[in-house]
A and B are shown apart, each in its own frame.
Chain A
Amino acid sequence: MADVRTDPIHQFGIQKLVDINIEGYDVSFTNSSLFMILTLVVIALVLLWGSSSRSVVPGRAQTVAELSYEFVANTLRTSAGEGGMRFMPLVFSLFMFVLTANIFGMVPYFFTVTSHIIVTAALALLVIFTVTIYGFYKNGTRFLRLFVPSGVPAPIVPLVTVIEIISFLSRPLSLAVRLFANMLAGHITLKVFAGFVVTLTGLGAFGFLGALLPLIMVVALTALEFLVAFLQAYVFTILTCMYLNDALHPGH
């Protein structure tokens, strides 16, 4: 078995911290739960701290809070319109959670919550159920026009409809898989290159020189990972906004 220090998968292991068993269901408090709670606590503290002073010239925390709010609000407004602002709490929570969890994952020894597909899938399903339920609630059966594009010749409408339905169903999947795969692959790559450094330095002076190359890679990859952490949170948010736009204005 690979050494724990260099095993790239070991970091994703779920460890039970508190064993809880309710009627045969395992609902133990794990390291994943711990970091989800930590994420929420950090978001809540930063936002509470940032919104406590309410000065005209914002301080550091207030700038962070205002910037993130404005950023998400603009994204939502441009892609889903003014009517989309009623989903601001949902979209803002999603953005902050994904972003903070991704950034948390960059801290050494921290667990990356979003590198588990069960977490990202739950977020994606939340989005898609919101879109579907709200779409039917607001538009009734007109929501189904989403699947029948206008201007298509009658004979191929059934075929196009099936393709559109598959396309619709593939959204939560691609939403979940994209975030999870990015975080997983990024962290594995980081760990693999870091493992090279550890192994090569064990080979004496010559290996020590050779270890410089993967070390440079690790530094570069860390910078890239920070970018990916933000970018994936942004992509998740903008796609959520676009799907919400469907619920608000289906079929046009």
Chain B
Amino acid sequence: MAQDDERLDDAGSDPRLKALGEKLAEARRAPSEPEGGGPQSSGLSGFGQAMKVGSEFVAGVIVGFVIGYTIDRLFGTTPWGMIVFLLLGFAAGTLNVMRAAGVAKDPFAAGPRSAPERTRDGED
């Protein structure tokens, strides 16, 4: 045991261990594959993607439906709340899908870095 402790204390002075430590730190720093493309899911990223996109879209429409229905019930505006919010929900669902597919710029998935410049900013 005492020997073990000594060896651990010596670790700092051993160049090979130091090199190993540096390699470990580097490996740890290297960012792993972005979501969906990880080594664990390479074979079925398509399946995962399909499930994700499908539920994202449906969720948007359902939330729009629920909001529209609630507004109609509260204010007696049948059927206008439903019509407007179902369309908005459709739009939100499409937005979800475009974000999930990476077509639209996703402000949510931009990561911890500060925001990248939006393409839109160049227009005006």
A and B, one complex? yes
Taking residues whose C-beta sits less than 8 angstroms from the other chain, chain B's interface range is 35 or more
Nearest CB to that of B93 among chain A residues?
A: A170
Contact A170 B44 (CB under 8 A): no
Contact A227 B91 (CB under 8 A): no
**Interface-forming stretch among A4-12, A74-82, A101-109, A134-142?**
A74-82
A82-B112, A151-B121 in contact; A166/B32 too (CB < 8 A)?
no
For residues 140 through 176 of chain A, which have their beta carbon under 8 Å from a beta carbon of chain B?
Answer: 146, 149-152, 159, 162-164, 166-167, 169-171, 173-174
Contact A235 B52 (CB under 8 A): yes
B83 at the interface (CB under 8 A from A): no
Determine the distance from Cα of A22 to Cα of B48 in the docked complex, in whole angstroms.
42
Interface size on A, residues (CB 8 A): 44
A231 at the interface (CB under 8 A from B): yes
Instruction: Scan B95-124; emit 1 where CB is below 8 A from any A CB, else 0.
Output: 110000000000111111011001011000
Which residues on the A side are within 8 Å of B88 (C-beta)? 159, 162-163, 166
For residues 225 through 252 of chain A, which have their beta carbon under 8 Å from a beta carbon of chain B?
Answer: 227-228, 230-231, 234-235, 238, 242-243, 245-246, 248-249, 251-252
Nearest CB to that of A227 among chain B residues?
A: B44
A181 at the interface (CB under 8 A from B): yes
Nearest CB to that of A165 among chain B residues?
A: B92
Please name 13 further chain A to chain B contacts, defined as beta carbons within 8 Å, in addition to the given A151-B118, A234-B38, sorted by A numbering: A79-B109, A150-B118, A163-B92, A170-B59, A170-B63, A170-B96, A173-B63, A174-B58, A231-B44, A231-B48, A238-B35, A252-B110, A252-B114
Across the A-B interface, give the 3 residue pairs with the lowest CB-CB distance, nearest first: A81-B112, A252-B115, A174-B59
